[in-house]
Structure 1
Amino acid sequence: MSKNKKINKEKKDIIVDDDDDDDIDELMEGLEDDEELNDKEVEEEDLDPTFNSHLYSYMRRAVQRPHTKKNDIYITNNGNFIYYVKRIKKLMFIENIQEVNIHGLGAAIMSAIKLSLYLQRRFDMVLSPTTSTEIIIDQYEPNVDYVDPVSKTRHCSAIHINVKKPTTTTASTQ
């Protein structure tokens, strides 16, 4: 028994012959696995949400941070580098703010460092970096009824870079 699947790819209609029922078989196996999970007794190691995706789903939670000020800029890996530069230039040169704080967490530390070094090289800014460790809370919601929600805490490195406009005394000493 042959099934035809119609796929729209690059605005062309392509018909693909699908002779096997792999999709249905995989779905049925997944349902059987869930029934087996519900029937057997679960050991405590099996309830670890980081290893068992059948029992738990990871729920992303925003990082807890203090109330942001106008001069606080939080760097992410998804952010556009040029956007950050334009925003800092607007704050420091148009709105005449004397200092900006750049914050980077985890994998975004490198982006925060690159941004601050670019500002130092291009506009002669004065940098004052500090590091810290932030506590991140991971939440796991249960996919089945017999387990409770789980929260785990972990520690993540962070960098906070204070970027200041150069003063006449600072510029002459460099």
Structure 2
Amino acid sequence: MDNLYIQKVLNGDTEGFRYFISNYKDLAFSVAISVVKDEFWAEEVVQESFIKVFQKLKTFKGHSSFKTWFYRIVINEAFQRIREEKKQHIYQNELQETELDSVEGSLNGLTPEEQTLVVQEALKLIPPKESLVLRLFYLEDQPSKTIADETGWTEANVRVILHRGRKNMLAAVNQLMLKELKTI
């Protein structure tokens, strides 16, 4: 279906581009928020990505799926946004060390909604690459091979990032749970 709309847009039917926006905006936002950790920035990344896709659609060769090509653009835009913010000393993403290294069963006793909230907050605390890979692997159910294709990283690198991400995710969840325990 993507190829049909690609041809429509390339033939001058700019309204056909709505297909891509409606089908890919949520996935793009999910990927962007994993990297930039801020909704406003993620929205900007998604907008810039769609603009870039529209402008460069004629360069799409079809060697990979449109989705893979699009994901790469979103990921590159997100990391570019981080680089820009780092230059301005605005973006800071360091996981603070917790006083408690292990909170056994960190999420036990929480409702599913509370667990989802803690997971979303923890994803904001870990490094962008790890957050992205964890989100794609667990929340989007993508295999490491697909993630490697979409990010341009090697499959081995994806597995290493996934491993580190799990460790940092546990530390982030523990940090959040510890913070919550201190407020009780």
TM over 0.5: no
Q: Which has the higher strand share?
A: 1
Higher relative contact order (CA 8 A, sep 6+): 2
> What's the TM-score, normalizing by structure 1?
0.22
> What's the TM-score, normalizing by structure 2?
0.22
Q: Which has the higher helix share?
A: 2
Rg larger for: 1
